[in-house]
Structure 1
Amino acid sequence: MKVYKEKLSDKEEKLLVTLLARTKISESCPVAYRLIKITDSQGLESTCVLVPARALVSVLELKKMLLKCGHNPNVTKEYWSRAYQAVIKETDKAITLCYKPGFYGDAYLRANDKVVGEIKGDKPILHPSAKNHLPVEGKQETLKLWKINVAPYALHSSRIMLALCCGFSGFLLKLSGMEGGGFHLWGMSSIGKTSSAYMLASLAGSPKDVVVLWNNTDKGLEEIAVAHNDSYLVLDESKLLDKDVLAAAKIMQNRVYTLSGGKGKTRSAMYENKVAEWQVSIFSTGECSLQQLAASGNIERLEGENVRVIDVNADAGAEMGIFESLPDDVNSSNELVHAIKDATHRYYGSAKPAFLKRLVADIQDDRESVKRKLEKGIEFFLDKHKVDRNSGIQVRIAKRFAIAYVAGSMAVKYGVLPFTKQEIMKGISTCYQDSLKAVLSEPEITKPLMGNSLNAIIDFCKKDDLLNLIGNDRVTQTVIKKAPVIIHKVKGRAVYAVDKDLVHNYLSKSQRKGILTLLTKQGVLLSDVNKEYSTIQIIYKRKQVGRRYCFVCNKFDKFMKE
């Protein structure tokens, strides 16, 4: 028996769609859209969607689009005709489609399409094609609970304090006129670097949604940077760039310039064939410093790169990784790392909107006054640290920390951070002073810098039955030549003399130049005069027994202990 669906009357069948606004055709937005609100059948929840003009050619096309966007399908045929008429009607209300979040005039368009501040003119809305890489800025629990359960951890780590303030500084870049850039927190694994990234991510959302990995494609990172415009970008695990240290060094140098420079290439159709532009505050983590990574690839780190993304050693010097102290109820740094992970994944997403609300209100009230206070705060930081104003490099490095200090101080003033300005200054100043020790110094050689490249060679040198020629004159040349590693004195130094074929087998040609050159610079590997690196002729009982790579024992031993 055929069941006939009861037809609802027009009076009972309430429209669930409302036309809110239309877009204006322009060079940057040649396709017309209409902003429509769709309400559920109970009238309890609603969502706003952009419907392209091509979906308005017929009732059927509009029906397909609305159903795709979640409209209730249980309505009559006559309903769709009425909905169509409601959507295509004339309206004077207009919106501006934007290809990135951030400041538009003195208002701020967030990644979730919410506008902070009063709008003068058409309301900005994110273009549908701009939403591919937007951070998920969800909120869980209140700002008050975040301030109680998450923020206080920064008082136990200057590195975490820097991370939080670096995040707030992203909203001040445009006002200050500074270029994008930030900090690279580096150190061995399990030292707490990711805890800093989690703390920073929690300003805007859940760490699992906000933290980005370095190993995206160049194009992908450009689009991610655009999606974080006028905000901050958390990049984790620089070691994932490439197994080849030379390739990794080149990739990193290029990406640091691109991300901090704020301009991409003209290849992305997403931006209507125009150059993608952005301005972000960067906080990156990795096992090696950017200076070490450049040195490992035999690449000179340029001054402009030094001042755009600044290396900060994750080790705070208190034998607790990134921490200088522990809360009273925590027994170890490892326990504190787990506590931070739990807290930041439970309380998040309230600090960024709270900061923006106050900042935008101040800007809209008196933009020039906010700008003067920002400049005054930066000058205060430079004066306090006696920065040489005649040195452009020193000033630019100091200003990167200074704007973080000012941003943190503003967050205190706005009631977002539960600290004092003195506590903000202490944390930022500590990181600044520690960074200066390494900015112009020779990069320290570490095993993480080499990745797994030297592991096989180290394993050979660790063996207990190595042939030791020091003080031993009873070994034949044949035995010496067959030994993969021998201990001998070369140029007055005890060395592990490693067979060159063994080194070449485990270090590819592309890796060899960068790694062996760096080891030579550090005095770990001996070489002939004026050579970047080389084998050295081994002399035993006044006879030549073959050329080998000679690693100085007391310096190479530290690799074996890690």
Structure 2
Amino acid sequence: MSEKLSQVAVTAVTDVTINKNSHLAAVPSTAAAKKGVTLPTEEQRPCYRCYPEAFKVNGKRYDAGLYFHDSIDDGRSKRSCDHWLCASLEVVAMASDTGHSYSKLLHFVDAEDQQREFLLPMQMLKGQAEDLKGAFLDMGLSLELKRFHLLRDYINKAKPKRRIKLAQKTGWADEHSFLLPDVDIGTGDYVLAHNPFGSADYGIAGTMQDWQQQVAAYAQDNVWLVVAIGSALAGPLLLKLELSNGGFHVYGDSSIGKSTISRVACSVWGAPDKFIKTWLATLNGQEGVAASRNDTLLVLDEIGESDPAEVGKIIYQLGNGQGKIRADKLGGVRPVQTWRLMLLSNGEHPIEAVLQQARQQLKAGQQVRLTSISALRQHGCFDTLHAFTRGAELADHLNQACNQHYGHLGTAFVRRLVQQNTSELKKEFAGFLQQFDAGHGQGNRIAKRFAVIAFAAELAKRWQLLPWPQQHALTLCLQLYAEWQASQPQGSHEDQAIITGFIDYITRYSDTRFSALSDADHRASPRTGFFEFINSQCVYYVTSTGLKDMFPSMDSKRVVRALFQAGLYYQTGPKERALVKRIHGKPVKVHALCLPNDAQ
């Protein structure tokens, strides 16, 4: 929320429980005191009132702030007492999330006379509200600790007329409202839940113009820098264009500029040092990180720091956009964290190589969610150096500029996006997608990712947020997409994984899990099958059990079809691809397979 503090002279909450306390004199202050303010009458007491400015009544000075006005009757006389509770503080609105998570929005002045805002969850008022006391002190609210119970009572009894909706995470609250920490872009009907995880990672520093001149201008003609900025802007488009989560894993040797790519992307939304996250996290830990990046961008640095056994699960989780289902203390189900986001990762090795360290194979679902692409260009990860002589110099300049100027582009982009018609956006995006020769299946999802990155960047150019020529981002995204397509083997990823898995298995276990057909005394344990040489070609007779051992998590029919289509069957039966062969005097159903010529 960005509304200013109300400038009314006083606010009041009446009909409260009377608390008998000794008189607390007004706090002295050097600020000029306002005249003409009146204190509540005896009939109006007890009540609370907030005074934004210091004031004088009957020559007595009172400091600005929230007061509890009371009266004391000792049986002989009745006298008024005015208790200063804290610096100026008002309860301006009530917020809730569809009848749950009730909170109150507070406006107050901190110790440096800065206007502050605090969304107070009502549950913080329970008991003695010690957590709330600590929160106020941490935020710089000057208060009288001895009478904190009166401040708590005031907040609890306040009934502001304004009602706003509470959102639990960043991103789209509805079609016309986009929330970031401390920023409601759109209708103003929402407020972001107080201090959600990762809210401090967003921020603004420097100027938009300096970011454009010192960062975006040097991204021009550099494929990966353009893709990085486009990826950061694509997050808010996913919901409107009905696209799924996903992103790219940028890999290559150390010190070629991969981290610079990531930091440039981070600078779209916040300070790179805060916004960038590490792969060094558990599966559960990545949930909170992903939810904090809802509808924006998640950047994960250095996959080499991760646990290889967890990487595959994390990719699925991030791509699916949903965390684990967990039970609460009462046996019910906790709210499941969800997110939509673009993902940008980096490391020295592709995802497939990382998974192999844990003896896992890259699955098609993982590849389509996080696609590995080499970062290597002409100058490290850069295509052009502009005025610099070495890639390291350009990287140093960009890293320094991103640390000084950040957070402007993302907010400016969304401010324009909330004004757009969703149907028109979808029509225009369809035209972009046609240029990427999407095809079907897995390739279609990856093509959509390239297309939405180009689309986001071209929209930003149209809205004069990026200093690039028109169609520049589209041209470079088409170039990188063509390069990626050229690097892909023919056939589906599942087929390639099966063929690779077969070759790896034979290479690893041919001497230990296969017995020579001519050697009846050799006992391989466990046994996958047998082998013999026919015309100098080694034929492996794999049993049905052995085939399941090769591919324990895959459907055998799917495996057989891929091996057959790849021409790896040496011999098949008349009706099925397995055949019955007499081995050591007994009929055995086997698959007669050979390694491809280039693998023998």
Indicate whether the TM-score tops 0.5: yes
* AA aligned opposite 1:371: K
Alpha-carbon contact 2:325-2:333 (below 8 Å) kept: no
Contact 2:246/2:369 (<8 A) preserved: yes
Alignment counterpart, residue 433 of structure 1, candidates 473, 482, 503: 482
1:423 is the counterpart of 2:472: yes
SS at match of 2:220: helix
Give the aligned length: 415
Partner of 2:322: 263
Gaps in structure 2 of 5+ consecutive residues: 1-22, 29-38, 40-54, 56-61, 67-87, 491-495, 498-600
The structure where strand makes up a greater share of residues is 2
SS across alignment from 1:110: strand
Report which stretch shifted further, 52-61 or 422-431: 52-61
- Which 5+ residue runs of structure 1 have no aligned equivalent? 243-247, 444-562
Q: Deviations over 1:268-296 (max 9, x none)?
A: 86997122211110000010011332345
**In structure 2, what is the Cα distance between the partners aligned to 1:82 and 1:190?**
56
> CA-to-partner distance for each residue in 1:117-170, whole Å, 9 max, x for gaps?
124xx4232255xx2333521211111111011112212421111111111111
Q: Deviations over 1:15-49 (max 9, x none)?
A: 3111111234756x3x4322111113675432323
Residues in 2 aligned to 1:294 and 1:56: alpha-carbon distance in whole angstroms:
48
Tell me the residue number matched to 1:466.
none
Aligned twin of 2:26: 7
Which structure has the greater CA radius of gyration? 2
1:359 aligns with 2:408: no
Of 90, 96, 107, the residue aligned with 2:176 is 107
Q: Distance in 1 between matches of 2:131 and 2:315?
A: 46
Tell me the residue number matched to 1:125. Answer: 192
Counterpart CA distance in 2 for 1:221 and 1:423 is 34
Alignment of 1:58-97 (within 5 A): 66-67=136-137, 69-73=139-143, 81=150, 84-85=153-154, 88-97=157-166
Which of these residues, 456, 462, 468, is aligned with residue 407 of structure 1?
456
Give the counterpart letter for 2:323 in structure 1: G
- Measured in 2, the distance between the counterparts of 1:293 and 1:33 equals 45
Alpha-carbon deviations, 1:356-401, whole Å to 9, x = none? Answer: 1111122xxx33222322233223x32xxx44x3x32222221111
Partner of residue 525, structure 2: none
- TM-score using structure 1 length: 0.68
Describe the shift of the 1:73–1:147 C-alpha distance in structure 2 as closer, same or farther (beyond 3 A). same
- The secondary structure found in structure 1 opposite 2:94 is strand
Work out whether 1:392 is the aligned partner of 2:441. yes
| C-alpha contact (below 8 Å) 1:167/1:200 kept by paired residues | yes
Corresponding residue of 1:202: 267
CA 1:333–1:42: 2 relative to 1, 3 Å: closer
One-letter amino acid of the structure 2 residue matched with residue 7 of structure 1: A
Q: Which residue of 1 aligns with 2:92?
A: 20
Q: What amino acid does structure 2 have at the position aligned with 1:132?
A: F
SS at match of 1:421: coil
Instruction: Give the aligned CA root-mean-square deviation in angstroms.
Output: 3.0
Shift of 1:431: 1.8
- Per-residue CA distance 1:526-547 (angstroms, 9 max, x = gap): xxxxxxxxxxxxxxxxxxxxxx
> Using a 3 Å threshold, how does the CA distance of structure 1 residues 24 and 256 change in structure 2: closer, same or farther?
closer
Q: Is the 8 A contact 2:302 2:347 kept in 1?
A: yes
Give the match for residue 214 of structure 2: 149
Which amino acid in structure 2 is aligned with residue 436 of structure 1?
Answer: Q
Partner Cα distance (1:147, 1:279) in 2: 27
Query: What is the alpha-carbon distance in structure 2 between the residues aligned to residue 41 and residue 190 of structure 1?
Result: 46
Which shows bigger deviation, 344-353 or 56-65? 56-65
Matches of 1:142 and 1:25, distance apart in 2 = 35
Which residue in 2 is equivalent to 1:374?
429
The residue type paired with residue 460 of structure 2 is A
User: Is the 1:214–1:236 Cα contact (8 Å) retained in structure 2?
Assistant: yes
The answer as to 2:383 corresponding to 1:324 is yes
Identity across matched positions, percent: 23
User: CA 1:158/1:24 → structure 2, altered by over 3 Å: closer, same or farther?
Assistant: closer
Helix, strand or coil for the counterpart of 2:118? strand
| Larger RCO (CA under 8 A, 6+ residues apart) | 1
Bigger proportion of residues as helix: 1
**Number of the residue aligned with 1:333:** 391
Please give the alpha-carbon distance, in whole angstroms, between the structure 2 residues aligned to 1:233 and 1:59: 35
Q: Return the TM-score normalized by structure 2.
A: 0.64
Alpha-carbon separation, structure 2, partners of 1:25 and 1:412: 36
Residue aligning to 1:55: 125
SS at match of 1:345: helix
> CA–CA distance in 2 between the matches of 1:221 and 1:198?
19
- Once the two structures are TM-superposed, the CA of residue 255 in structure 1 deviates from its matched residue by 1.0
Task: Specify the code of the residue in structure 1 equivalent to 2:278.
Answer: L
What does residue 39 of structure 1 align with?
109
Q: What per-residue deviation string (whole Å, max 9, x for no partner) do you get for residues 186-233 of structure 1?
A: 001011101100110110111101100011111110110001001110
Contact kept in structure 2, 1:18 and 1:87, CA below 8 Å: no
CA deviation profile, 1:292-314 (whole Å, cap 9, x unmatched): 32345443322222222111101
Query: Which is further off, 12-21 or 252-261?
Result: 12-21
